[in-house]
Amino acid sequence: MKINGGGLALAAIIGLSLILLTEAAKNVDPYKVLGVERNAGQREIQKAFHKLSLQYHPDKNKKKGAQEKFAEINNAYEILSDEEKRKNYDLYGNEMGNSGFDSGYPGDDGGYRHYTGGQGSSGFSFRPGDWQNMGGKGGSKSFSFSFGGGPSAQNSFGFGMDDLFSNFFGDKSRGAQASSFGRSTRSQGRSQSGSTTSPKSIKDINSQVYKKEVIDQGITWLILSYTPSVRGTEYYESIIQEVSDPLQGALKVGSIHCETQRSLCMELGINPRKEPRVFLYTYKENNEGSLVEYTGDLVPKNLKAFCQDHLPRFSTRIKLNNLKSLSNGGGKLPSVLLLSTKRDTPVIWRSLSGLYHKRFTFNDVEVHDVNDPMVKELGVDQLPAMVGWLSNGEKHVLKTGVSVKDLKSGIKDLGNVLDGFERKNKKVAPNQGKTAQAENRVPLLDGLTYNDVCGERIPVCIIGAYRSSTAREKLASILSVVSQKSLSRRPNSASSSQDAVSYAMLDAAAQQTFMNAFDRYGFKSADRTLIAYKPRKGKFAKFEGEMTIEAVEAFISSVLNGEVQFTKIRQKPAIK
């Protein structure tokens, strides 16, 4: 529309007012807006933006002026978070890198000031002195103002005529949809500049990164999908940053630009709509990992709770009276146990269980009394504590009185403990094939297994005692085979062999006191020893001769049939 002299319409006044307010917002010193020094680093700028954007976001702050303040904050961050724009502002007072209308400096357009929309179809112009004549007191002067594209079109500010009036007069329904004038101008500015950069401080994710670093790596990812045209990307990023900071080490953060990574976004079904979208790559629903969208309120507390709830759960929560079941060797993998006072599996242990779930079997238990007999048998004297069992069943107290500074450093420190334990497991079990499987079938005799394997309710306990890794492998391979055979007593025997005999391995070097109960010198001269022990009667018999499967099988059969001479033990065996 074109209006001459005193015929200036209300629409033109409102439009020009908004233009001047927008330009005034741009001309405000961004350093002062965010409250930072001119030499502030990006981290300081980001923190300031995050704090202020939360304070003045129109969805949270309904006070008069909050919307304009939010626009200022976003414009300031848009400049200072971009290296090129910040450099231009410092040099010229304008992020565009020139001195003219936008920066508050006089241009060189013959005394004209111009503003033109993105498509060149809408704008305004006036000559020097026209402002004094816009009230109709100088008919010779004229002013023109136009919006292109009809009433439903979007002009260069990101809204149509309806939006202009409704936002100005506080139409809540439209205001909620647009969120803020500042957000619209920011999104439009991003689109016009052709920027395809990802949100600041967040790792870019493309197809290659997604396949190599996200899928099935055992760690939860918080992922933002966006395009430059959607509104509120910086606000989403600030919330995500606040949530992820205290979860560093347990949670990784990334963003997917759905214009440059269109095929990936379509494949994953995460294309943003009117606003960015937030997803978690989680192992809660599927041990192989899957994407779950966060649809709750974008509030740090709620999003953080959602993230914590979706951290890995590869650790099995057990009861204190079930600790004995862990000492038989967990199969092909070594196993680790966390003892803590927490009612639920601690976040740090859940995170480790995800990162190491292909290398260890994880368990955790709630314990409040370090003097509990079960805890004392483990050799734990301070909580929290980590205990591990090698794949051959050997128990090790890995760490007691566990204390961590923060989640990130804690995961690193405890991860180093697990790495060291894994190296130890590889040394004691160099052959992970038949030998390792054979060892796992015969439990290691220790404080947890003693009552079940060699307690007084067991008629005969066959113990293979070793002093070297070679002896251990030899005994394990023999006993694993013999223990699977159906050895039987004579036909008139009252019970079957399965009820009469049990098998166990024993580290003689570590359990010297136990060995001394049978022999004064604890059979120190033998690298490997095979003993048949009758706990109820307190008697034992020692195998003599070359150890082969056939010879050991014959020895045990003779024991079961009463054909072997037994000797009284020197004292009751004590296991550590």
For residues 475 and 505, the answer to whether their CB atoms sit within 8 Å is yes
pLDDT band, very low/low/confident/very high, at 285 (cuts 50, 70, 90): low
- List, in sequence order, every residue forming a beta bridge with 315; answer none if it has no partner: 362
Q: 2 with 146: CB under 8 angstroms?
A: yes
CATH code at 442-568: 3.40.30.10
Helical H runs in 139-259? 161-168, 172-178, 181-193, 207-209, 233-244
Q: If you average pLDDT over residues 518-543, what whole number do you get? A: 91
pTM over 0.85, yes/no: no
Q: What are phi and psi of 9, to 5 degrees?
A: -85, 160
Separation CA 85–CA 360 (nearest Å): 50
Q: Would the pLDDT of 183 be above 50?
A: no
Q: Of 256, 253, 288, 282, which Cα lies nearest the Cα of 269?
A: 256
Mean pLDDT is lowest, of 51-60, 224-233, 436-445, 558-567, for: 436-445
Domain ranges of the chain: 2-193, 203-309, 315-429, 442-568
- Which range in 81-85, 145-149, 172-176, 515-519 is most confidently predicted, on average pLDDT? 515-519
Query: What 8-state DSSP symbol labels residue 21?
Result: H
CA distance 514 to 573: 5
User: 300-309 and 233-244 helices cross at what angle (nearest 10)?
Assistant: 60
∠ at Cα 416 (411, 422), nearest 5°? Answer: 120
Which pLDDT score, from 0 to 100, does residue 486 have?
62
Domain 2-193 and domain 203-309 have a common topology: no
pLDDT single digits (tens) 476-496 = 889 988 888 765 444 333 334
Distance of CA 279 to the CA centre of its chain: 13
- Using a 10 angstrom Cβ sphere, with 0-12 exposed, 13-18 middle and 19 or more buried, the burial of residue 66 is middle
Are 147 and 162 within 8 A, CB to CB?
no
pLDDT at 327: 56
Alpha-carbon distance 70 to 72, whole Å?
5
Instruction: Measure the CA–CA gap between 356 and 334, rounded to whole angstroms.
Output: 11
Per-residue pLDDT tens for 68-110?
A: 888 888 888 888 888 888 888 888 777 665 543 333 333 333 3
Whether pLDDT at 4 is above 60: no
Report the chain's C-alpha Rg in angstroms.
Answer: 38
Strand order across the beta sheet in which 251-257 lies? 203-204, 251-257, 220-226, 277-282, 290-294
Q: Per CATH, is 2-193 categorized as 3.50.20.10?
A: no
Fold of 315-429: Glutaredoxin (3.40.30)
Contact (Cβ atoms closer than 8 angstroms) between residue 361 and residue 318: no
Over residues 35-75, the pLDDT tens digits come to 999 888 888 888 888 888 888 887 778 888 888 888 888 88
| pLDDT at 214 (0 to 100) | 93
How would you class 179 by CB atoms within 10 Å of its CB: exposed for 0-12, middle for 13-18, buried for 19 or more? buried
How far is the CA of 495 from the CAs of 488, 489, 491, 498, 534, in angstroms? 9, 8, 10, 8, 15
Mutual orientation of helices 66-80 and 233-244 as an angle, nearest 10°? 80
More confident residue, 38 or 430: 38
| Mean predicted lDDT score pLDDT of the chain | 75
Closest-CA residue to 552 (of 464, 484, 467, 482) = 482
- Which residues contact residue 10 at a Cβ distance below 8 angstroms, ignoring those fewer than 6 apart? none
Is the domain 203-309 a CATH 3.30.70.270 member? Answer: no
